[in-house]
Structure formats: C-alpha cells, structure tokens
Amino acid sequence: MDAQLRELQRRVDAEAATTTRLIEEVRRVIVGQNALLERLIICLLARGHVLVEGVPGLAKTLAAKSMAGAVSASFQRIQFTPDLLPADLIGTLVYNPKEGTFDPKKGPIFTQFLLADEINRAPAKVQSALLEAMQECQVTLGSKTFPLPDPFFVMATENPIEQEGTYPLPEAQVDRFLMKVVLTYPSAEEERQMVDRMSTGRIPVATAVVAPEDILRARVVVDGLYVDGRIKDYVVRLVQATRTPSRFKLSAEGYIRYGASPRATLFLTLAAKAHAFLRGRAYVTPEDVKAVGMDVLRHRLILTYEAEAESITPENLLSRIFESVEVP
C-alpha cells in the first residue's frame, strides 16, 4: 500500500501544476469569489456540473467565461427565458428538400463549457432538455444520438431574489448537479480591488494556460486517489442521516420530507477526491468530505412545511448532521 500511495502522490504532484496555473489565471480576472472558483474546478475534475445561486453582479458569468478561456475550451452562454424552446438549446432536425432527408442542426449545447444563465426563468420542458446531456454527455435528435465534446461542463445560475416569472427546477434536474454554490457579497477590500481593476475601461480577459487534454489527464489522476473504507462508510452514513435522522439521534424528525439520493453518495465521494487533489494529497480525509459536503447535499434535501414554517434551512439540518455523525 505504501508503494501504491507513493506512486499516486507522484502522479498528483505531476498534475498539480495544471490546476495551479488555472486558478492563478482566473484570479487574475476575478476578484474574490475564491470558494466559487475552487468549486468550479472541483466539479470540472469530478465530471460534474454546478448550480450557482446569487444576486446579480457577483461575477458568475465572468467566472464561467474566464474558466473556459483559461482552459482553451469552447464556450456558449444561453439566457433562459420563458419563451425559450428545447430546440433552442439542443437543436432540431431541418428538412433538406434536395435530399429529401431531415438533417440535424445542432444547438448551442454542443460546447465544452455551457453557461445556463438564470435557468429558473425557463419552464420545466426547457430545463429538462439538459437531463440527457448532463448525465450521459449526449444529445438525441430524432433517431440519432450525438456525443457531446469532452470535457462537457454546465454551470447554471439562478437569482434568489426575483420569484415572479420563474419556474422551480425539476428535482430530477437538481439532483444531476454535483454542487449548489450559494454566493455572498464580496468584502470591502475585495470590492475596492474590483473597482481598481474593472473601472479603467480595459477589462482583463483570461488567456489559455491549460488545454482540455490537461483537464482530462488530471481527471484520471483524481479517479485513482485512495479512499479508505472507513471514509466510504462515513460518506454513506452522512447520506443515510439525511433520510433517517432518528437512527443517528438527530432532532430533525418532521423537518425532512425526502433525503439525499444515492447519486449524492457517489458525488460526495468524487468531490472529496477532487478536493484532496487540489490540496496536493493522494488520499481522502474526513476533512475533504466535510469541506464539500454542504455544497453537495444542500440542494438534495426536500423539507417539510413544518421546517419552512420554523425557518429551518437545509444548511441548518446539514450542520446538525455533520456534528452528529461519527467521524472515522
């Protein structure tokens, strides 16, 4: 095992420069939002997608565009609106009168980095057009299935303020996002830096510092990171505690209607491995699980009316769970 860990550590050290260059280049453009940038990279390494909730003006779009530019990846931004159609996203079949056939016209989803801006402004039929793409990395048009580019990464945003003219995301769609990141306002120091950097008329633009192939190679290393059996059991207990809190002596009965799905168990493990990789380790610790746990689980809990009436949030319940479940 020691020899295997040493080899894993050597591979982690060899690929660490990829994420270091990526983070440094994006931070050259984005002021603050370090947690968001790290979560974007974790999702990218773990083959996941991210849902970002925050008020306008917190650099969500700029972060996604800068990340794509730094990775030298193709980028598309789709503004979700109530009149958007699924074909506007995935494409459609167009009749070719000369050949008498229907030819595929691919939509903007055929890209490596996709920004689904204000995804909750479109009805469920449009949101659900992403389901196959996010899970299977493919799109079906008519009778043909087309693979999406690799890597394929979706960052969706939603505005928590405006409720008029918005649609809740289907639970099946929400569950496909590896993380949900909730953004807050920057500090006074960060906001001052933003003024200095962005008020000159020359907005910084990220330049390509890594290639998509570098991300794919780093993913292979992340996949091979060592996860001890006790860590896996810890992840399972955390997810189980969201479904049956009474088994773990949690005072959450009557607050959780549905707990996290089995997909959460897998995603929590993958995200913890990516987090350990960013910390330069070839093995996962309980701290890695805790560091990403809130973002992986917060959108997977469906609370009861009693919880809403008492202003209890998923974050409140998850904090209790992380405090109560025994750490290996």
pLDDT band at 163 (very low <50, low <70, confident <90, very high): low
Asked if 26 and 37 touch (Cβ cutoff 8 Å), the reply is yes
Q: Residue 130: its pLDDT value, please?
A: 86
- CATH 1.10.8.80 segments of the chain: 225-324
- Residue range 158-171: mean pLDDT, rounded: 76
- CATH 3.40.50.300 segments of the chain: 2-199
> Which of 63, 72, 1, 64 lies closest to 32, judged by CA?
63
pLDDT band at 165 (very low <50, low <70, confident <90, very high): low
- Residue range 95-120: mean pLDDT, rounded: 87
Q: Looking at the domain that runs over 225-324, which CATH code has it been given?
A: 1.10.8.80
> What is this structure's pTM?
0.89
Q: Residue 153: its pLDDT value, please?
A: 92
How far is the C-alpha of 252 from the C-alpha of 316, rounded, in Å?
A: 10
> Which of 196, 216, 182, 301 lies closest to 252, judged by CA?
301
Q: Looking at the domain that runs over 2-199, which CATH code has it been given?
A: 3.40.50.300
Read off the pLDDT of residues 44-78 as tens digits, 9 standing for 90 and up: 999 999 999 888 878 888 888 899 999 988 999 99
Read off the pLDDT of residues 230-274 as tens digits, 9 standing for 90 and up: 999 999 999 998 888 878 777 767 788 888 889 999 999 999 999
User: Residue 1 has what DSSP assignment?
Assistant: -
Q: Is the pLDDT of residue 1 over 70?
A: no
Range in 13-17, 113-117, 148-152 with the lowest mean pLDDT: 13-17
